[in-house]
Amino acid sequence: MADAGIPLPFVDVRTPAVSAGEPTPAVLIHGWASGSVYWEPLANKLLDAGRTVWILDLPGYHTGDDLPPDFEWTLDSAAASVAAALDARAGGPVHVVGHSMGGSVSLTLAAARPDVVATITLVGMAPVPQNQGFKKVLTSQLDQGFFDSATKTKLMNAWYGELSAADMERLSTGFDAPFPVLSASAVAAMTGVEPSVPGRVHAPLLVIAGTGDRVRPIEQMRVFVAESQQRQLRAIPGAGHNVHWEQPEKCAAALIGFWETSRPPPA
């Protein structure tokens, strides 16, 4: 899947002070206009539970990233980038956790490279038609050639609800990525996975959804999960789109319970 022209993502490897004895790392893949900072609460809960955590910054999202001039940002190329990082570091299948657009990258990865995925968890995401209001807002910004401050605030409020000024500043740093990266990954987020992808994913799959998600309504998640016995849903009452930020303890408990009771299908 990967080749020499695929840039490796930045990987922040974190190991627990006391290991739970489970060597399989959890690989956290962020969504559109996001980054590693919003994984911090969940990562800390997983580390406290003795789990190794890898936090990835997708191509172009890490400060100082210099992408090859011919690199085209798509779900396939982003998944190939993640695959290259796993090939270089993992030494075996990993637990992939993708939020929002990162879930689309994760599904694409699991379909193309089942050998590197032990389990897959989609957080605030299911491969269903995109929210039309969200698409309209993004399209308007792509047409004008930049993301204005009013739109950033509108999107952040939809994703997180009310935030303090400090958290708004901290969590909106994903918008600091270069506009070509933001625009291309926005198109990838809006387009979603190729229709055959979900059916080609055979790893155990968990969807973690906030019941108050305004981007991906939980009813859509339920329909997706019901289509396969290999899929599970964990609904977190009162949480929104960034359930891992809002309810990290419940999210971590759902992940660990899923990992401990799931086994990948035979090769």
Q: What tens digit of pLDDT does each residue of 83-124 get?
A: 999 999 878 999 999 999 999 999 999 999 999 999 999 999
What pLDDT score does 122 carry?
Answer: 98
Give the rounded percent of residues in the chain with a pLDDT score beyond 70. Answer: 96
Domain ranges of the chain: 10-260
Model confidence at 266, pLDDT cuts 50, 70, 90, reads low
Higher-confidence residue: 17 or 214?
17
pLDDT for residue 133 is more than 90: no
What pLDDT score does 135 carry?
Answer: 83
pLDDT for residue 1 is more than 70: no
Model confidence at 132, pLDDT cuts 50, 70, 90, reads confident
Residues 10-38: what's their mean pLDDT?
Answer: 94
Residues 235-246: what's their mean pLDDT?
Answer: 95
Angle (CA) 176-188-245 rounded to 5° is: 55
pTM of structure: 0.94
What pLDDT score does 66 carry?
Answer: 84
pLDDT for residue 162 is more than 90: no
- The topology (CATH level 3) of 10-260 is Rossmann fold (3.40.50)
- Alpha carbon distance 89, 125 (integer Å): 27
